[in-house]
Chain A
Amino acid sequence: MLIIGEKLSIIAKRVREAMFKKDKGPIQEIAKAQWNAGARMIDANIGPAEDGGEELMEWMVRTIQEAVPSPICLDTTNSKAIEAGLKAHDNQWGRALINSTSNDPERFPILELAAKYNCQVIGLTVGKGGLPADAEERCGIAAEIMARAMEYGVPLEDLYLDPLVLQIATSQDHAMHVIKAIKMFQELNDPAMKTVVGLSNISNGCPKHVRPLMNRQYFALLMYHGLSSAIADAVELSEIAKTMDVIMGKTLYAHSYLEM
């Protein structure tokens, strides 16, 4: 299970202020906390970043990689900012991951970047025409993204399919559609396709005290069904991930397994 530490998002006030002030301190502190809790990739979410996105992403990549030996998930809709991030990215700890391409023609050029820079890319299974209705529709979109990836020269091993987790508070049915999609995505190729979710979206809009519980429980279910990675808070999930590894027989039980 690859946890992509999600805490560096422009949506969070503290992070946003640090980004504007180019204050490395809070960014590096959060990145280290995610790394120490087991995140092996760090998400750098700079939002749409229409002004100064290139410079900001470049600064984020360098700032994070100064603090932790980790590849970066470049999370923005600004493709110029992505390219700037890819140029700055140090590949010695693994290749970068772009978040994301989709079935929206505006997002196709992202695949060109992935091919050009030989990096990994997330394929979000949505099109231009709104949200997918169920798991089957997500699979149909996934198949189109996969075909397009091959066309652009991105190997399927470098593509992570994202079924788009929706809020439980507003779209309850989709919680199970997404689990089913995770199962179905894996069958679309041999070796199985890699999968990723933006986990905390499930609890977006829930009361604060419910959110960690909802995130953890959903994560455990997704892990059981073969999810390969999650953009999530590693601090919140580290104990669940270790426990699931033990329950699923991926690591040998010992009384101190949580401390490993």
Chain B
Amino acid sequence: MPFTPPKESYNGKIFELGLGNGEKAVAIGGENVLSFHGFEGSTPRKPVIALEVQDIVPDDWPQTVREVYKDVYGDPVAWAVYCQDNLGAEAIALRLAGTHPDRGDISAEQAAETVKKVLAAIKVPLIILGSNHAEKDTAVLVKTAEAAKGSNCAIGKAQEANYKTIAAAAMANDLKLIAMSELDINLSKQLNILITQMGFDREKLITDPMCSALSYGLEYTYSVMERIKLAALAQNDPVLQPPMLADVGMYVWKVKETQAPEADLPEWGALAERGIAWEAVTASSFLISGAELLIMRHPAAVEAVKKFIAEMEV
């Protein structure tokens, strides 16, 4: 008798969420099964990978990844165009790192100008990220949301401390909103409830349960994502049905394994290869746990993850 694999079916479905306009617009979500379980149901959209661009010289990035962007960094417009045209990015995540009070304290107005210029230069969808300084992000994301009105961008991250202002700005400018909580499934649900209680459409939300790198708490993020996905599908919990984001690059490219030189740790192997592998393995793990949107830094890691997606979908 031939083997028939058991099939699960679920009552719930992840919201399908579109980003950007025109022919380069993308959509994520829409599935009613766990990741890569297309044989059990419907997976209308592939995961999308955005390449990260910053508004300042990324002097905290290790050499392996800085090397890729050495001709363009310092100029966010050139950098974004490079990612789109030369590296084939499906989306750009512009992190306004320079607005952080400790990293230049660039004004909200200036950040909004940068956003406008980047938007004018690219066709692929944009994700606008603050500097993760809850107070400064409030000002920066309000201004940049106004600058991005009508672009169908995602902005973030709205957190417990600042979600009201940022969600209102996203709502006023018809943008998608990334809601981030700190590695706690119940707080993640709570934040989504609070944001929707303001009248924000839950179908325009992206949940960021907070990322982490391989061997630096990856299993926590993995487990939270998996439980969110199961609550969305098996318990049909609409609050947890927005697609999920894994902001991979910023967590990976600061850990020791992506920075320690070969001279110090020869048994760890080639540094460049190691860093790329670290980002690829972290990212593909989160695709399995349920992320629909990734933000990454190294194009070789992106390529490896895309190959992984293609193989998993067979």
Question: Which residues on A are within 8 Å of B, measured CB to CB?
Answer: 250-256, 259-260
Contacts and interface: CB of A to CB of B under 8 A. Distances in A.
Interface string B194-207: 10010000000000
B190 interface: yes
Indicate the member of B187, B193, B231, B240 with the most A CB atoms within 10 Å: B193
B207 to A, nearest CB: 12
A256 B237 contact: no
A259 B235 contact: no
A22 to B, nearest CB: 38
Given A256-B193, A256-B194, 5 more contacts: A252-B189, A252-B240, A254-B190, A254-B193, A255-B190
Report the contact-size class of chain B (Cβ under 8 Å from the partner).
10 to 19
Contacts of B239: 254, 260
Contacts of A250: 235
A149 to B, nearest CB: 27
A104 B231 CA distance: 44
B63 interface: no
B235 A256 contact: no
Nearest to B227: A252
B214 interface: no
A260 B239 CA distance: 9
A253 B184 CA distance: 11
Contacts of B237: 251-252
Contacts, number: 30
Contact of A251 (B187, B194, B227, B235): B235
Indicate the member of A250, A256, A259 with the most B CB atoms within 10 Å: A256
Nearest to A256: B193
B223 to A, nearest CB: 13
Contacts of B189: 252-254
B215 interface: no
A138 B276 CA distance: 67
Contacts of B110: none
A104 B238 CA distance: 44
A253 B190 CA distance: 8
Nearest to B231: A252
Nearest to A253: B186
Contacts of A252: 185-186, 189, 227, 231, 235, 237, 240
Given A250-B235, A251-B235, A252-B235, A259 B193 contact: yes
6 contacts: A251-B231, A254-B186, A256-B190, A256-B194, A256-B197, A259-B197
Nearest to B234: A250
Contacts of A255: 186, 190
Nearest to B185: A252
Interface in B21-75: none
Contacts of A254: 186-187, 189-190, 193, 239
Interface in B85-114: none
A252 B185 CA distance: 8
B290 to A, nearest CB: 14
Nearest to B188: A254
Contacts of A253: 186, 189
B184 to A, nearest CB: 10
A111 to B, nearest CB: 30
B300 to A, nearest CB: 38
A250 B231 CA distance: 9
A252 B237 CA distance: 8
A91 B224 CA distance: 40
Nearest to B191: A254
Nearest to B239: A260
Nearest to B232: A252
Indicate the member of A252, A253, A256 with the most B CB atoms within 10 Å: A252
A260 B237 CA distance: 10
A68 to B, nearest CB: 20
Contacts of B240: 252
A253 B187 CA distance: 9
B182 to A, nearest CB: 14
A254 B239 CA distance: 10
Contacts of A259: 193, 197
A188 B3 CA distance: 32
A260 B235 CA distance: 14
B164 to A, nearest CB: 15
Interface string B104-142: 000000000000000000000000000000000000000
A208 to B, nearest CB: 34
Nearest to B230: A252
B212 to A, nearest CB: 21
Nearest to A255: B190
Contacts of B185: 252
Nearest to B240: A252
Nearest to A250: B235
